[in-house]
Structure 1
């Protein structure tokens, strides 16, 4: 029986703890082997504003997500990630590449990495069905893919259906916290494109391919929202409230593809 192997690439600092720890815990519970990767093999840290203090209480992770992050952060795989800049780094052996999001500016280290782009430019086309390889992304994690160009100079998800952080959510968070957090909720600074705009402009037909939902409550039935492509083993979510459903559907996708 095949044990699926998962890689979670991360910036040194700034990813959302819910979008990282909730899927990680679900992957481990499903029996997957999970590894992390950072630029130079440094143990990553998630966004502290989401984990502690008044910002955690007002806009951050839930108590369960914080606990899940604490458990994940002391594991050997989290403390000793592989380095994506090492000469022998490759995505070839992984059945799943999972790209977490986060709006803290540190996540640009991953989104903008030419090395990660190079590896994904080879890996993502190999997820075309039938395939034993898959990719999942949530929130700003989708931008890692929309910023990755193939040999045709189109982004690797140019023909896929996808979702990402909705503009409405990003704008509400930005304007609602600007007085005390400045442009914290704008990863590339005030006035930059919203995540949804960044992703939509890279799709062949954004009006048909970009899927959206403005349901926000993580507890109400039907408001969690993920999108699964039909041509590729690719699945995406919008924001932290989608993390559990995204993980569950990703596990099913991976298990079905490696069977």
Structure 2
């Protein structure tokens, strides 16, 4: 059976290890080929804080105590994601990526956009005209596209040249919700007090209301109507609390939205279900010679 090829653009640093590694692992195990792409074609690095949890506790700035992980144990990637990340680091796909500006979409059957939140590395990814152009072309060709967390923000910023609007205009989507983003931000403001805004990629300006620069609100502004942004029901604490993540065997905590060939998810707690759904959605579309 022909193998589907999926391109996964990532920033040079600070991508989310769960969203990158679990997606790679799940797609690979489903028989698909994953090709990573970075700004300069050099091996990328995921956000180390999200791998180890070191530096997410109030004593994280003290050399002798920083490896004592408490709050960081909750905020970091779970055991399955950390194991996937360890395997990812040894994979030839991760070690030999393509360059963003050399990705030929005609050679791929799908695109997956992982997220991450740390401004240091993520802004280059989110603001890249090259990536925004690739995403817009993928939507124009109706290529299967999957976006999770801040990856959905990259999609929202990608403009359809035929309409002058976001490729998500007229689509149903989810993304990192303000509830999840705000909760993590508030925790880190106290526990990582020397780097209080670690969980916010963009901060509000003086005249902007709380959450205006959040992923949810920026994505929503790109949509045809606010009602096109979806989240789990308010009374479903398993899906909305941010305290429970899905697993390879349990999809109950996950919330995924599919609109045609576009699939979206909110945060690392959705990534197993997100990957499994995309592995079924993507199929070989390339013409064989």
Alpha-carbon distance in 2 for matches of 1:78, 1:90: 18
Matched, 1:60 2:76: yes
In the other structure, the counterpart of 2:62 is none
Instruction: State which structure, 1 or 2, has the greater radius of gyration over its C-alpha atoms.
Output: 2
TM-score (norm 1): 0.90
Q: Secondary structure at the match of 1:92?
A: helix
User: Which structure 2 segments of 5+ residues have no match?
Assistant: 57-71, 206-211, 233-239
In the other structure, the counterpart of 1:4 is 4
1:168-207 mapped onto 2 (5 Å cutoff)? 168-179=179-190, 180=193, 181-189=195-203, 193-207=213-227
Matched, 1:50 2:60: no
CA shift for structure 1 position 190: 5.4
The alpha-carbon distance between structure 1 residues 256 and 228, as it changes in their structure 2 partners (threshold 3 A), is: farther
CA shift for structure 1 position 257: 7.3
Alpha-carbon distance in 2 for matches of 1:190, 1:171: 12
CA shift for structure 1 position 161: 0.6
In the other structure, the counterpart of 1:149 is 159
Alpha-carbon distance in 1 for matches of 2:6, 2:285: 13
TM-score (norm 2): 0.81
**1:170-224 Cα deviation digits (max 9, x unpaired):** 11111121132310111023556110001000001121x1111225312576321
Alpha-carbon distance in 2 for matches of 1:227, 1:187: 23
What is the aligned residue count? Answer: 248
Between 183-192 and 76-85, the greater mean CA deviation after superposition: 183-192
In the other structure, the counterpart of 1:138 is 148
Tell me if structure 2 keeps the 8 A contact 1:95–1:254: yes
Among 211, 222, 229, the residue aligned to 2:230: 211
Alpha-carbon distance in 2 for matches of 1:90, 1:45: 23
**1:56-83 Cα deviation digits (max 9, x unpaired):** 4241101221111011112111111000
